Amino acid sequence: MKVLPQSLINELHGIAAFDEQSFLAAHQQAAVTSVRLHPVKHSAAFQGNEQVPWCREGRYLTERPIFTLDPAYHAGAYYVQEASSMFLQYVLQQVLTDTRNLRVLDLCAAPGGKSTLIASMLHSSSLLISNEVIRTRASILEENMTRWGYMNTWVTSNDPRTFSKLPGYFDVIVVDAPCSGSGLFRKDERALEEWSEANVQLCSQRQQRILADVWPALKEDGILVYATCSYSPQEDEEILDWLCAEFDIESIQINVPESFDVVSVISPMQKANGYRFFPDKVKGEGFFIAALRKKEGTETLRQAKFKSNSDKKIAQQSGHLLQADDLVYVHTGDDQVSAMNPTHEPDWQLLQQHLFLRKAGLILGSAGAKEWIPAHEVALSVNAAKELNYISVNKEQALKFLKKEEMPLIVSERGWHVVSYEGLGLGWIKSLGNRINNYLPKHWRIRMEITDADWA
Ligand code: SAM
């Protein structure tokens, strides 16, 4: 039997809708499993499952499969995300009147749940910066964002303080803050073992520090979304109170249908609106979210004079890889070229002066002696050209490709082919007629043992 910290329960009695008995009973049950479907990469996977009420693409699963064994997962057909946190979609739909021409920062983004959700909502003219300060986690974020396949989602790895060098730059900032994690007690054994009042205090101070650091980067009238997976008022309502006392900011009320069973709360001092998810009321885990609008006058960073560095030769060599036209082709690293929306080139020139950009635009690959060597991410991109050579594979072949094992596959036509599973790109092979070379990057390889029964 799971025993929850009494001091936390005592604090939750301050919330009118809190019901100790049913809350404790819900913690004796397993966590709910859910996925969010990709809006563009269509796959049959989970389409018919029960929908998460507040998210069009959210689906509940009746059991937790081994996602690693599903090639559609590797292709980015869906993202495994906790259902309550998909409520971010509902909040953004209410607070954003237009999803075009926005600059959005997801400050604490790894492994990428909120970022893939935001990317699915934004128009291609908008730019999403997915940031993760911890380097090892940033590489997981980069992999997940690459799998999701949008060229207007870029990945950075910076301390929140660094963003103060970009005053008034962002229209929206999402801070899904590191927290004490009590909302995940059902999902993660360690969250319960490691929980302490001292850690809640520490997290609360860190959350204030993170918010203060990133505050200058939000433009006047810009939206701040603050979220945690903690039940502790010190990390939720009290942070809203702190924000309202410290800055010129106003709370935004979200209209939530009663049928959602989301608990609307008001912060004790400043009367700011917040939304709580309790696992005995919703089909999901513990979560807190609030949206606020910056009212403070903010000077906006003036961009230096802009001159495009788009390389026409690269466009000729690699343009065939993409569906979209009207793109710029820029050198984003040694021997590396990326395509991006022309309106984002000035952003790229500016941001690389201040941030550590791990990924900007869609990396296309590099020019070889005789031919273009396509980058892995082209195969996963929603912009990959329909005219590329696609080779359809079955599940066994797909998993062998993803494990970088010998594939039982003959491709008589020489050259580059995208390995395609149920119409979804997985990566590149190059056929030499009598054999094929697997170009899946080594660090993307499935490491899990797969038995004969799993191939089917
Ligand atoms: N938004 C993510 C998602 O939906 O998949 C989950 C984010 S998780 C709740 C919080 C993230 O903040 C972690 O990835 C953690 O590494 C990062 N983090 C830890 N300390 C931080 C700090 N001092 N400043 C900013 N981010 C931090």
pLDDT in tens, 331-350: 988 888 999 999 999 999 99
pLDDT level of residue 298 (50, 70, 90 thresholds): confident
- Give dist(CA 393, CA 391) in Å, integer: 6
Atom of ligand 1 nearest to the CA of 112: 5
Atom of ligand 1 nearest to the CA of 206: 23
CA of 5 to the centre of ligand 1 (A): 24
Query: What pLDDT is recorded for position 455?
Result: 77
Contacts of 39 (CB under 8 A, 6+ apart): 57, 120
Task: Determine, yes or no, domain membership for 63.
Answer: no
Number of domains comprising the chain: 3
- Give dist(CA 423, CA 409) in Å, integer: 17
Query: What pLDDT is recorded for position 409?
Result: 83
Do 327 and 346 belong to one domain? Answer: yes
- Give dist(CA 188, CA 200) in Å, integer: 17
- Give dist(CA 370, CA 86) in Å, integer: 46
Last residue of a domain, one of 261, 294, 327: 294
Do 315 and 287 belong to one domain? Answer: no
Residues with CB under 6 A from ligand 1: 85, 108-114, 132-134, 137, 160, 176, 178, 206, 210
Query: What pLDDT is recorded for position 303?
Result: 78
Residue by residue, DSSP assigns 34-46 as EEEE-SSS--STT
The CATH number of whichever domain residue 278 belongs to comes to 3.40.50.150
Task: Determine, yes or no, domain membership for 76.
Answer: no
Q: How far is CA 360 from CA 113, 125, 153, 348, in A?
A: 19, 14, 7, 7
Amino acid letter for position 173? I
- Tell the residue nearest (CA) to atom 17 of ligand 1: 108
Do 315 and 285 belong to one domain? Answer: no
- Give dist(CA 392, CA 381) in Å, integer: 17
Atom of ligand 1 nearest to the CA of 134: 16
Q: What pTM value is reported for the model?
A: 0.97
- The residue whose two tokens read 């599973």 is 421
Q: Are 338 and 364 in contact (CB under 8 A)?
A: yes
Last residue of a domain, one of 346, 373, 400: 373
The CATH number of whichever domain residue 441 belongs to comes to 2.30.130.60
Q: Report CA dihedral (88, 91, 94, 95) to the nearest 10 degrees.
A: -100
CA of 110 to the centre of ligand 1 (A): 6
Helical residues (DSSP H) of 281-434, grouped into ranges: 312-318, 345-354, 376-380, 395-403
Do 241 and 347 belong to one domain? Answer: no
Query: Where in the sequence is the domain holding 334, given as residue range(s)?
Result: 304-373
pLDDT level of residue 456 (50, 70, 90 thresholds): confident
Task: Determine, yes or no, domain membership for 17.
Answer: no
Check whether 453 has a pLDDT greater than 90.
no
Does the annotation mark 229 as catalytic?
yes
- Tell the residue nearest (CA) to atom 14 of ligand 1: 110
Do 279 and 422 belong to one domain? Answer: no
CA of 412 to the centre of ligand 1 (A): 47
- Tell the residue nearest (CA) to atom 10 of ligand 1: 178
433 vs 293 pLDDT, higher one: 293
Check whether 407 has a pLDDT greater than 90.
no
- Give dist(CA 31, CA 63) in Å, integer: 10
Q: How far is CA 341 from CA 123, 148, 360, in A?
A: 11, 17, 11
Do 164 and 281 belong to one domain? Answer: yes
Check whether 304 has a pLDDT greater than 80.
no
